Structure 1
Amino acid sequence: MHHSCAAVSLGRALDGATYHAKQDTSAGGVARNIAEGIYKIYGNVNLISAVGNDQNGTYIRKLLPEHCASSIITLGNCPTASFSVLLDRKGDCRLVVGDMEAHQAITTDWVSTFQGHPVMFFEPTDMRIAARPFAARNAKLAALAKRAVKFISPNIHELAEIAQALHYAGPVPRKLMDEYATLDELLTDVKPLGLFVNETIDHVLVTLGHHGVAVFRRTA
């Protein structure tokens, strides 16, 4: 995924005018960054992803060791996924625009071809698709995901979607991150979800924005 970030000084609502901004561009996304980090520590990792046959796709491939990129497919019918973020002068996100069509190529059939590999790190990316591996219509594929995925790094909303796919019976939080008054209040909602999902997935790392992360682990 290709990221573009612009910091803009906004004095009023967006109205189609041209504003002065400072722009930065980087390669992502989270899954790519995690794959690179794991490779640097352990050496043996495959990133299952898709890029377009374009400049951004070539750039992302070059940033990864050749072995890491061996499981990335190149598409001829759509561009590499891109993600543009507009921040205000305080650094708060005001607008996000993304073209994620390339991700549609990452199907359950494609992922299942790697079932011989022992461990998977699943980066949910979006709450709308976070539960997809565990709620597959094909019961065999859903069971395979539960066995193969050993690490996940969802935010609270993605965690809730995954918990529901695993048949969590408790209440599901609906608050946005900035609606929690304290860290304790946030953890009150995160903990039961994290413990439940951890019964299926060995390592659950929940991202909590500026509060850091909550880690749930099973060692036996």
Structure 2
Amino acid sequence: RGGQTNAGRVRRTFGGVGRNLADCLSRLGQTPLFLSAVGKDEHSESVLHYCHHMDMSAVLQLEGKSTATYCAVITSAGELSVGLGDMDIHQQITEQYVSQFKENLCQAPLICIDGNVPLSTIQYVCQLAKEHQLAVCYEPTDENKASKPFLSDSWKVLTYISPNLQELRAINRTLGNPLPAELPSKLEDVVQIAMALARPLLAHLCCVVVTLGAHGILLCGKSLRGSISLHPGAHKQAAGAQLCATHYPAIHISRDEIVNVSGAGDSLTAGILAGVLAKHDTDTCVRMGLLAAHLSLHSYEPISPEISTSSVSQQQVKSRSWPEVKVWKMD
């Protein structure tokens, strides 16, 4: 207030939802091709240097454009207070540009899209997925961008989405579904609201991964032999399966240990997808995601440099004791 200078610490890190997913998947032994756009400026040089462990060959570099920059004010508790984004360059990730990589997309075991991509590009990728039966994960990014695929029937070809409760509510608002008057904070109430909001989406989606912050995650989908299958296509063969929701508590971390929450959700999603790509069972996939998120909460970088195939793995999952999961029937 009043325009005064407020004392703080300033750090530069490298983020962006799609970049975070590609970063984390690369650290977990996968080989994602990252499609994005940057300017030809000082920021892009730094980004490309930092991301040397990733395949950045499909990142478009444009003269006269500014690399996307996001300024986040983080409280002493590690929570986001306010954010300021200069994201205009995302509009250059056009349908025409992405179509140059059609062959790569059609051969990929999984395509991830974030909410920063223009609507027409999201619709193009969804149409491609429909024609070629491709698995697609949509990471909603934030409450204002969450609904992009849901503005048309594009969303019906998505395989997974990974919203938080606010994003899930925004999606249901776009679809004209009933909404809760307010979002609760007590876990039991949160679970009931999340199940009600996920329920109409599961007519088409394989799985809705609702991220619940300190409460962990709620996995919603069709139960096959007592477990929700995360493998693409499995839900379509499950004629007699029941809709279920499984709650996985987060790994405990004290507020004093939290350095930054900004990349935890992306780490969670990427950890789960790495497990899916490695064909692990559902519990292992989810717990790989929880391990990755836990590491990133301790890191100033959105994706912790400590994430690796040894720190986040099936072996690490098996070596830990985990709190009991709770299952609800949604029908």
State the TM-score, normalizing by the size of structure 2.
Answer: 0.51
SS in structure 2 of the partner of residue 33 of structure 1? helix
Q: Does 1:45 align with 2:36?
A: no
Maintained 8 Å contact 1:198/1:204 = yes
Q: Does 1:124 align with 2:140?
A: yes
The equivalent of 2:204 in structure 1 is 200
Question: 1:153 Cα shift?
Answer: 2.1
- Partner AA of 1:54 in structure 2: D
SS in structure 2 of the partner of residue 73 of structure 1? strand
- Partner AA of 2:163 in structure 1: P
The equivalent of 1:16 in structure 2 is 3
CA change 1:70–1:217 in 2 (3 A) is: farther
Following the alignment from structure 2 to structure 1, what is the Cα–Cα distance between the partners of residues 188 and 150? 29
The equivalent of 1:171 in structure 2 is 178
Following the alignment from structure 2 to structure 1, what is the Cα–Cα distance between the partners of residues 29 and 70? 29
SS in structure 2 of the partner of residue 45 of structure 1? coil
CA change 1:108–1:216 in 2 (3 A) is: farther
Following the alignment from structure 1 to structure 2, what is the Cα–Cα distance between the partners of residues 75 and 211? 41
Paired residues for 1:7-86 under 5 Å: 14-65=1-52, 68-86=55-73
Question: 1:25 Cα shift?
Answer: 1.9
Q: Deviations over 1:172-204 (max 9, x none)?
A: 2464xxx62311222222112223324333243
The equivalent of 1:156 in structure 2 is 165
Q: Which runs of 5+ in 1 are unaligned?
A: 1-13
Maintained 8 Å contact 2:208/2:221 = yes
- Cα RMSD over matched residues? 2.8
Maintained 8 Å contact 2:143/2:166 = yes
CA change 1:74–1:198 in 2 (3 A) is: farther
Q: Does 1:189 align with 2:189?
A: no
The equivalent of 2:86 in structure 1 is 99
Q: Does 1:135 align with 2:139?
A: no
Q: Which runs of 5+ in 2 are unaligned?
A: 113-137, 223-228, 235-331
CA change 1:83–1:160 in 2 (3 A) is: same
Maintained 8 Å contact 1:173/1:189 = yes
Question: 1:101 Cα shift?
Answer: 0.9
- Partner AA of 1:47 in structure 2: F
Following the alignment from structure 1 to structure 2, what is the Cα–Cα distance between the partners of residues 211 and 193? 17
Q: Which stretches of structure 1, 4 residues or longer, exceed 6 Å deviation after superposition?
A: none
Following the alignment from structure 2 to structure 1, what is the Cα–Cα distance between the partners of residues 221 and 49? 34
Q: Deviations over 1:36-80 (max 9, x none)?
A: 222333523222222222222222233335763233222323211
Question: 1:21 Cα shift?
Answer: 0.9
Question: 1:26 Cα shift?
Answer: 0.9
Following the alignment from structure 1 to structure 2, what is the Cα–Cα distance between the partners of residues 189 and 72? 39
Following the alignment from structure 1 to structure 2, what is the Cα–Cα distance between the partners of residues 182 and 62? 43
- Partner AA of 2:88 in structure 1: E
Task: Report percent identity of matched pairs.
Answer: 28
Maintained 8 Å contact 1:120/1:150 = no
Following the alignment from structure 1 to structure 2, what is the Cα–Cα distance between the partners of residues 112 and 186? 40
Name the structure where strand makes up a greater proportion of residues.
1
